[in-house]
């Protein structure tokens, strides 16, 4: 959420930088409280415990078939992992609409950013390395029978990927290790992160065996939230404001997250912090609570920078928010710049 804009003229909620600020802690929205820590009785298996043996099994499964004119088999196997990655992403994108998903932004390639453009209201980013041909950020939309849609399309995607990998293996020659690599990636993509909501493993192995309908509501984007998310990714704050302003008010978490992000982008740090606090209190999913804490901390940091709050007044809330973020995700401070503020 670093796309903060200067405050608009006439916005009395932001004190100009030339004026002194005197703010007490009571003027600030309350800091999000750390959520309950997960019970230590059940420990999750680290993904690497599954990933590393799975890769080795894939290599061994090829056996002598990995030899193609010398020592080319192993490189071709790992190239097959890249092929499998692209197949998975492409098939998931093609099945997004029947699955009840919608695209927010897309990225072509990986690595250094070369440029971007906006087409059809969506951001397209181009990067230097063509290892990943197309990656698309997908969100859940309000479609009937979402649970069945997700499971059926995910199962279909896995079957298609395995069928394509089997066809490569059956072709023989250099295609055989490529096929083994593609099949290994499909297995890796399904097995790890089975407990992460909406991951492929979670959809296949957890979704059919529990009541998850109530949890879906937290992730659903109504048309206004979807349009706002696309506009936010593209950096078009006016479009985002228009999309949210034209829709009826909604208490859904994704709408509240977009309202907080809009307030932050417009320099309305009071509103951003209060919406983020309300989102953190409302959300049940850990990922949403973490996002709310990040929004809240960003609102505090930018509010202090704009001299809306005095640093000594905001510091206790900021520290409490960082503690809440570490509780929700112990390693989150490694991947954002909030800890340096």
Q: Is the pLDDT of residue 307 over 80?
A: yes
Highest-scoring range by mean pLDDT, 174-178, 274-278, 320-324: 274-278
Predicted local distance difference test score (pLDDT) of residue 44: 54
Is 233 in contact with 262 (CB distance < 8 Å)? no
Predicted local distance difference test score (pLDDT) of residue 18: 29
Per-residue pLDDT reduced to its tens digit, 224-259 = 999 999 999 999 999 999 999 999 988 889 999 999
Three-class secondary structure of residue 113 per DSSP = strand
Is 309 in contact with 29 (CB distance < 8 Å)? no
Predicted local distance difference test score (pLDDT) of residue 143: 83
Q: Is the pLDDT of residue 323 over 60?
A: yes
**How many residues belong to the chain?**
341
Predicted local distance difference test score (pLDDT) of residue 14: 26
Higher pLDDT, 117 or 285: 117
- The C-alpha R_g of the chain, in whole angstroms, comes to 23
Higher pLDDT, 146 or 3: 146
Per-residue pLDDT reduced to its tens digit, 173-186 = 888 888 888 988 88
Per-residue pLDDT reduced to its tens digit, 308-320 = 888 888 888 888 8
Alpha-carbon span 6 to 44, nearest angstrom: 44
Alpha-carbon span 168 to 165, nearest angstrom: 5
Kindly state the average pLDDT of the residues 5-33: 37
- Token pair in block for residue 326: 């570490």
Higher pLDDT, 39 or 34: 34
Kindly state the average pLDDT of the residues 118-138: 93
Three-class secondary structure of residue 262 per DSSP = helix
């Amino acid at each position: 959420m670093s796309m903060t804009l200067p405050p608009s003229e006439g916005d009395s909620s932001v004190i100009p930088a030339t004026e002194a600020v005197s703010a007490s802690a009571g003027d600030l929205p309350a800091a999000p409280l750390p959520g309950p820590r997960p019970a230590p009785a059940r420990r999750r298996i680290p993904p690497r415990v599954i990933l590393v043996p799975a890769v080795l099994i894939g290599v061994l499964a090829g056996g002598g078939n990995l030899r193609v004119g010398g020592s080319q088999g192993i490189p071709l196997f790992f190239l097959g992992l890249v092929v499998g990655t692209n197949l998975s992403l492409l098939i998931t994108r093609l099945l997004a609409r029947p699955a009840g998903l919608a695209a927010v932004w897309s990225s072509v390639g990986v690595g250094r950013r070369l440029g971007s453009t906006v087409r059809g209201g969506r951001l397209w980013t181009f990067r230097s390395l063509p290892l990943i041909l197309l990656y698309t950020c997908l969100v859940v939309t309000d479609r009937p029978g979402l649970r069945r849609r997700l499971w059926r399309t995910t199962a279909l995607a896995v079957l298609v990927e395995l069928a394509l990998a089997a066809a490569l293996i059956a072709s023989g020659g250099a295609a055989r290790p490529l096929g083994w690599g593609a099949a290994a990636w499909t297995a890796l993509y399904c097995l790890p992160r089975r407990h992460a909501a909406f991951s492929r493993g979670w959809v296949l192995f957890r979704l059919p065996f529990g009541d998850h309908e109530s949890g879906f509501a937290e992730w659903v984007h109504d048309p206004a939230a979807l349009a706002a998310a696309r506009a936010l990714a593209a950096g078009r704050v006016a479009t985002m404001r228009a999309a949210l302003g034209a829709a009826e008010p909604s208490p859904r978490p994704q709408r509240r997250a977009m309202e907080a992000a809009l307030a932050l982008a417009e320099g309305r740090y009071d509103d951003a912090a209060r919406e983020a606090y309300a989102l953190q209190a409302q959300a049940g999913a850990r990922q949403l609570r973490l996002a709310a804490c990040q929004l809240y901390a960003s609102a505090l940091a930018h509010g202090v920078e704009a001299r809306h709050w005095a640093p000594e007044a905001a510091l206790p809330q900021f520290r409490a928010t960082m503690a809440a973020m570490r509780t929700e995700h112990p390693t989150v401070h490694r991947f954002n710049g909030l800890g340096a503020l």
